[in-house]
Amino acid sequence: MVEHDLLEVCAIEQMSDLSTWGWDAYHRELQAMPESIMLAARVDSTFHEYQIAGFIVTRIVADEVHINNVAVRPEFRGQHIGSELLRHALHQAQQRGATVARLEVRAGNQAAQRLYRHCGFEVDGRRKKYYREPTEDALLMSLVL
C-alpha cells in the first residue's frame, strides 16, 4: 500500500462497517513501516472505476503481529482476496521475526471469523463489551506462526 491508495482504502473502510480509522491514521501507520505491514489487492483498472479490491493493515510489536483491519469491496467478497491478503501479511510478519499473530473480532462477525479460522486462527479469549456502536463482545483469536 502507498499513500496514493489511502482515499480508496478509506472508501472501502466506510462500506465495510469497520471502526473508522480515516486517512490520517492510515497515513501515520504507513510512516511506521517496517513495523506496520499494509497491503492492497489491486484490480485491473481498465475494467473498474477503482484500483483496489481490498486491503489489510497489521503491526508488529516485538515478536507478535497484530491484525488491525482487513476489508474487501462487497462485490469482490468470497473470492479468497481476504485470505490471500492475510496469508501474505502473516508471511511477511514471520520473515520479520513475528512468532505469533493476534486479533480481536466482533463476536457477531461470522464472515471475518470464518476467514480467520480458514487461515488457522483459533479463539483463545473474549472481552466483554469491547466494541461500541453497537456494543458487542470481542473474540480474541491467535495463531502460532
Ligand X SMILES: CC(C)(COP(=O)(O)OP(=O)(O)OC[C@H]1O[C@@H](n2cnc3c(N)ncnc32)[C@H](O)[C@@H]1OP(=O)(O)O)[C@@H](O)C(=O)NCCC(=O)NCCS
Chain residues in the site for ligand X (CB under 6 A):
16, 18, 69-72, 77-83, 105, 109-112, 114-115, 118
Count of residues for the chain? 145
Minimum distance from CB of 79 to ligand X (Å)?
Answer: 5
Residue 116 annotated in active site? yes
Among all residues, whose Cβ is closest to ligand X? 82
CB 50 → ligand X: shortest distance, Å?
15
Q: Are 101 and 67 in contact (CB under 8 A)?
A: yes
| Shortest reach from residue 56's CB to ligand X, in Å | 8
Give me the catalytic one of 8, 84, 104, 133: 104
Which residues, in sequence order, are CB contacts of 103 under 8 Å at separation 6+? 66, 67, 68, 116, 121, 140, 141, 142
User: In this complex, which beta carbon is closest to ligand X, that of residue 97 or of residue 110?
Assistant: 110
CA dihedral 28, 62, 13, 7 (to 10 degrees): 30
Catalytic residue, chosen from 13, 26, 29, 116, is 116
Contacts of residue 18, defined as CB under 8 A and 6 or more positions apart, other chains included, come to 69, 71
Which of residues 83 and 92 has its CB atom nearest to ligand X in the complex?
Answer: 83
CB of 48 to ligand X, least distance (A): 16
**Cβ-based nearer residue to ligand X, 9 or 70:** 70
Q: Which is nearer to ligand X, 98 or 115 (CB)?
A: 115
Q: How many whole angstroms separate alpha carbon 71 and alpha carbon 56? A: 7
Rounded Cα distance between 26 and 144, Å, is 27
Q: Which residues are catalytic?
A: 104, 116
